[in-house]
Amino acid sequence: MRTLPLIRLPVVGVAIFWSTLALAAWPDPPDGGWAKIQADPLIQCARDAEGLPWCYVERDATVPFERVVAAIKDVEGYPAMFGHLDRVKRLGPDTAWVHVDYPSPLSDRDYVARFTQVAAAALRGSEPPGAIQAFHVRFRAAESAAAPEPGSDVRLLRAAGAYDAWDLGGGRTRFRYVWETEIGGGVPGWISDRARLLHGDEVVNGVLSAAGG
């Protein structure tokens, strides 16, 4: 829970070792498709078959593809990229504990995530026209005995998402972030809506800035 401004120290990231798995494109939009959010036309949202809320945001930027990939892989460097994500602890080769700082009086959130790199061939057909190469990562909530106890924090047991990057050539890269947006804890809808918009912008801006955009 945020009570005083945080002092951010330099973070030296150690990339998590990514397991490679051929997975189908995920998550799929529902029959009604993705709906735009009025407050941010770049963020679109939908509910899956279980009724869980998902959003995605994507942006093209003049940044090298390799640097975007390096930023995505640097999980332990996320606190330096994303303002509300203040702690990450590596728990295993492909697993990390993530702590999210929420303003008082809301409880902070945390989750354990397992990251999987998806073979580009598994998603062939979803790439932008003219894309030269691609990098895809999926993460989903997991369990680990090495994770800190949540204490007063709200543990997000359904946390999940995706990072996608495509090399468009000419030094340009398309970055897309997809995430399950339920924040738990019985917060009012307007807070969830605000958190959704802030989080999407924060991740896209953080990754592209870290890549030099």
pLDDT at 148 over 50: yes
pTM score: 0.82
CATH classification of the domain holding 158: 3.30.530.20
Per-residue pLDDT tens for 6-32? 222 222 334 444 444 333 334 555 555
Q: Per the domain annotation, does 97 fall within a domain?
A: yes
Q: Per the domain annotation, does 51 fall within a domain?
A: no
Least confident of 30-39, 141-150, 166-175, 187-196: 30-39
pLDDT band of residue 118 (cuts 50, 70, 90) is confident
Q: Per the domain annotation, does 107 fall within a domain?
A: yes
Long-range contacts of 147-153 (CB under 8 A, 24+ apart): 147/89, 147/91, 147/97, 147/112, 148/89, 148/97, 148/110, 150/110, 152/1, 152/107, 152/108, 153/99, 153/107, 153/108, 153/109, 153/110
Average pLDDT, the chain: 81
Q: Per the domain annotation, does 204 fall within a domain?
A: yes
Domain holding 80, by residue range, is 58-210
The confidence score (pLDDT) of residue 37 equals 67
The confidence score (pLDDT) of residue 178 equals 92
Q: Per the domain annotation, does 80 fall within a domain?
A: yes
For the segment 146-160, the average pLDDT, to the nearest whole number, is 94
Please check whether residue 155 is in contact with residue 141, taking contact to mean a CB–CB distance below 8 angstroms.
Answer: no
Q: How many domains does the chain have?
A: 1
Q: Per the domain annotation, does 30 fall within a domain?
A: no
pLDDT band of residue 104 (cuts 50, 70, 90) is confident
Q: Per the domain annotation, does 7 fall within a domain?
A: no
pLDDT at 119 over 50: yes
pLDDT at 89 over 50: yes
Q: Residue 65 class from Cβ within 10 Å (0-12 exposed, 13-18 middle, 19+ buried)?
A: buried
Q: Per the domain annotation, does 38 fall within a domain?
A: no
> Helices (DSSP H) in the chain: which residue ranges?
65-73, 78-81, 189-210
For the segment 30-43, the average pLDDT, to the nearest whole number, is 67
